[in-house]
Amino acid sequence: MSSVLYGILWILSRTIGWLCFHYRVGGTVPRTGGFIVAANHASYLDIPLLGCGMQRRAWFLGRSDLFPVPGMNQVLQWLGWIPLRTGRLDREAFGKAVALIKEGKVVVIFPEGTRSPDGRLQHPKPGIGVIVAQTGCPVVPAYLKGTYDVLPTGAKWPHFHPVTVLYGDPLMFPRTGETGESKQFYQEVSRTVMDRIASLGAVESPTQQSSADIRKAE
């Protein structure tokens, strides 16, 4: 039953996207297997407009305080939302994501951890590396272009602006011994993924900005 409702919402989101935002999709995601889709996060519209760009059902890791309405949490979890407690490693949420990927499902994660306040990419969190280390799954980078212009932080009503979702080629991160379990590995995964997301959107990655700042300081 949840799959039927998800399908109805998928069609509704795609139709509204076409009619209101000239919605376009570039690239595709794999048709089979479990993997992560990692995208930038600039608007509340990112989840539906990213989801309806894929021909597969997806589960979404998102902050646990996003939907404070009583009863709403249960419905959204039924549809595929995985509530994530911030400020520490939420082993329960990441455990659910790992289990879904091992079952061959698609899990969406926003490496920045929260919405961008100005539409620009933020520094990534290492959580995506934790999931990759435990599953060895591919990561499909994605860039949402225009969602911040449609519904920026603090806006009450959406604006009419074109939206494009771009999916890149899957990234693989081979694990070898202890390296695959280290914090260094987690950080390397998050940096690489964020750099690829930035490349898709033809924007500057925050990890590249940090490297430039370090070189200037030296």
Identify the band that residue 2 occupies on the pLDDT scale cut at 50, 70 and 90: confident
Instruction: Give percent of the chain with pLDDT exceeding 90.
Output: 68
**Spatial contact of 96 and 82, defined as CB atoms under 8 Å apart:** yes
Write out the two tokens for 128.
């995506």
- Is 80 exceeded by the pLDDT of residue 69? no
Rounded to an integer, the average pLDDT of 27-51 is 96
Rounded to 5 degrees, what angle do the CA atoms 201, 204, 208 make? 135
Domain count, the chain: 1
pLDDT score of 212: 47
Lowest mean pLDDT among 29-33, 97-101, 149-153, 192-196: 149-153
Whole-number average pLDDT of the chain: 88
- Helix or strand or coil: residue 102? helix
Write out the two tokens for 147.
């969602």
pLDDT score of 110: 96
Rounded to an integer, the average pLDDT of 178-201 is 87
**Rounded-to-integer distance, Cα 183 and Cα 130, Å:** 9
pLDDT score of 177: 56
pLDDT tens digits, residue range 112-133? 988 999 999 999 998 999 999 9
Which range of residues forms the domain containing residue 161? 2-217
Q: What kind and span of H or E run contains 214?
A: helix 206-217
Q: Residue written as tokens 């996207």?
A: 17
pLDDT score of 217: 41
- Whichever domain contains 107, its CATH number is 3.40.1130.10
**Spatial contact of 140 and 170, defined as CB atoms under 8 Å apart:** yes
The model's pTM is 0.89
